[in-house]
Chain A
Amino acid sequence: MASPMDCRYTATHEWCRADGDMAAIGLTQHAVNQLTDLVYVDLPGPGATVTAGTACGEVESVKAVSEINAPVSGEVLQRNEIVTGEPANITKDPYGHGWLIKVRMSSPAELDALMDAAAYDASLED
């Protein structure tokens, strides 16, 4: 299944959906498939700063703990408490209700450095 067109993607399997200067961030279906059952997620709260390309949180399954890398830099506005309370919600709807954080972008130009849906899907083929 093709990745949603309205998102941009990182090589480390995070998606980013911009709306003005706000961006919602989450994990791609591919990431969710690799991780299998999620048991815990650790995310920065409102007010925290995230930097593009660096780890801003962690997601844990029984198999692995993986870092979540911020696709863009900015200030965290919201953390999705539905997933922190029940990480399985990420798996159920990774591009919708399973979003992780919303940030106010400090430099929206960073979006251009990310892959579009087609490029991301192509990268998964390799």
Chain B
Amino acid sequence: MPEPLIFNKSQRGQRGIRFPDSDVPDTGPALPERLLRRRPLRLPEVSERSVVRHITILSRENFCVDTNFYPLGSCTMKYSPRCNERLASLPEFTDVHPYQDDEGCQGTLEILWRLQELLKEITGLPAVSLQPAAGAHGELTALLIFAAWFRSRGEKRKTVLVPDSAHGTNPASCRIAGFEAVQVRSDAHGLVDVADFESHLDGSVAGMMLTCPNTLGLFETRVAEIARRLHDVGARLYIDGANLNAILGITRPGDWGADAIHINVHKTFSTPHGGGGPGAGPICVAEDLGPFLPSPTVEQAATGIYHLRPGGDQSIGRVRGFLGQVGVLIRAYCYIRRLGGPGLRRVAENAVLNARYLRERCRKDLDLPYNGECMHEFVLSAKELKDACGVRALDIAKRLIDHGIHPPTVYFPLTVEEALMIEPTETERRRTLDFFADVLHDIVAEARKTPELLHEAPHTTAVSRPDEVRAARELDLHFDWPEREPQIHD
């Protein structure tokens, strides 16, 4: 039986939490009548027991990393260690107000400062801001820094180069930062077409956004050259750090000549995805861009005391309120400290090993459009299957759900037709990888024999193929309370 909407479990007079009566003298209404609520607020009237049952049941309807394999390319769905959850949830961390004076939060400030130092070492870039709330937010922040840097030199550049295989946040961030995204083609090997890159390179280019390894899971072998050429025309290189998991302890963007990178802490550094967030997107930048970082930064005084230092005149200001995603960053700190240097390197080694192994097992069943040595993820194409029997990447994805496997990323990157982007991560066992490969094999065989089965997949879930067209037409985004209360008991 499907779990009803919480509004339909409402029963008049039911309450979850009650608060005590006021213990201060009642001297009449605190505010004038005209400022008070007129239209009564309607929220569900449910007991705590109902709420607990409701959310427990609903949460169990979800796939999650704790229960399912999530080979989502570009998302790095690795295991979230519980010690990080416990430590970050300590009241000494959670119960601190952001405007607490520095001496009352030395513990958190020290963690943030140390995290900054760790990120500098991991990326090879010397200046850090922990302020951005997510990867896309970090992208925007870095692009705003580029713009401010150019302004400080009396220049205003129009365009930012973005590979055609880039994540959608890249061109979106360009626009918000006031730049025009100009697409650079990929070559036959799936890497940036350097000739096409050169053809766009002129004095109007502010920089390039490059994901490396790229969204096909391939290392951009000419990245150092690209950095040099950008610098030759006075432009800067931004690295989208979504795929950092593949290169931890192996190579560092700072050593490639990169000028800025954002880090997806909820990908590379294991903080949980929470059904869509929260994440954090700290950025690391080159020395000369340091003064432009958002305000404030976390500093350590000569006395060893940690404090917040407001940005100088050149700081781009703020991209959010308060300090940053502190709770998330504490988890990331715990993760990095737990692993140490060799541990981080082993993460990359095993992320790549697992992906490379899985690719070998899957390539006989679906096409591998780019044959280069993949790193932590690889892209298959269902185009041939679609031409042969009409079964698309979407259908394969939905059929995987019947086997308890969360689908991989589909239809991205845009440069591959009927793409399935697969990233197993280092926290999965070989047995799980073999299971995935076997299931994929069976699904492809099924596709050729009984394609209709796949067009209507999934079959075993409570819900199958929600009508997205109807959803977009009707836009039922809000439950409208009926005039009279329905009574549904649980």
Q: Do chains A and B touch in the complex (CB under 8 A)?
A: yes
Complex CA distance for A39 and B472, rounded to whole angstroms: 6
CB closest chain-A residue, reference B471: A62
- A59-72 CB mask vs B (1 if < 8 Å, else 0) is 01110000000000
Chain B residues with Cβ below 8 Å from A39 are 469, 472-473
- A37 contacts the other chain (Cβ, under 8 Å)? yes
Interface membership of B468, Cβ < 8 A: yes
Number of interface residues of A (CB under 8 A): 6
Q: Which residues of the partner chain A approach B471 to less than 8 Å between Cβ atoms?
A: 62
B472: A residues at CB distance < 8 A: 39-40, 60-62
Q: How large is the interface on B (under 10, 10 to 19, 20 to 34, 35 or more residues)?
A: under 10
CA distance A8 to B473 in the complex (A): 31
Cα distance A44–B20 when bound, in Å? 57
For the complex, would chain B's binding face be called helix, strand, loop or mixed by DSSP majority? Answer: helix
**B469 surroundings in chain A (CB, below 8 A):** 37, 39, 61-62
Rounded to whole angstroms, the CA-CA distance of A62 and B474 in the bound complex is 12
A62, closest chain B residue (CB):
B468
Chain B residues within 8 Å of A62, by CB: 468-469, 471-472
Compute how far the CA of A90 lies from the CA of B245 in the bound complex, rounded to whole angstroms. Answer: 47
Q: How far is the CB of A90 from chain B (nearest CB, A)?
A: 13
Q: Mark A39-73, 1 if CB is under 8 A from B, else 0.
A: 11000000000000000000011100000000000
Q: Write out, one digit per residue, whether chain B residues 450-471 have a CB within 8 A of any chain A CB (1) or not (0).
A: 0000000000000000001101
**Closest B residue to A60 using CB positions:** B472
Which of chain B's residues have a CB closer than 8 A to the CB of A61?
A: 469, 472
Q: Which residues of B contact A37 (CB under 8 A)?
A: 469
A60 to B468, CA, bound (A): 12
Q: How far is the CB of A59 from chain B (nearest CB, A)?
A: 12
Which residues of chain B in 46-98 are interfacial with respect to chain A, using CB atoms and an 8 Å cutoff?
A: none
Determine the distance from Cα of A40 to Cα of B469 in the docked complex, in whole angstroms.
10
Binding site for B on A (CB under 8 A): 37, 39-40, 60-62
Known: A60-B472, A62-B468. 11 other contacts (CB 8 A): A37-B469, A39-B469, A39-B472, A39-B473, A40-B472, A40-B473, A61-B469, A61-B472, A62-B469, A62-B471, A62-B472
| Nearest 6 interchain pairs by C-beta | A39-B472, A37-B469, A62-B468, A39-B473, A62-B472, A62-B469
**13 chain-A/chain-B pairs, Cβ below 8 angstroms:** A37-B469, A39-B469, A39-B472, A39-B473, A40-B472, A40-B473, A60-B472, A61-B469, A61-B472, A62-B468, A62-B469, A62-B471, A62-B472
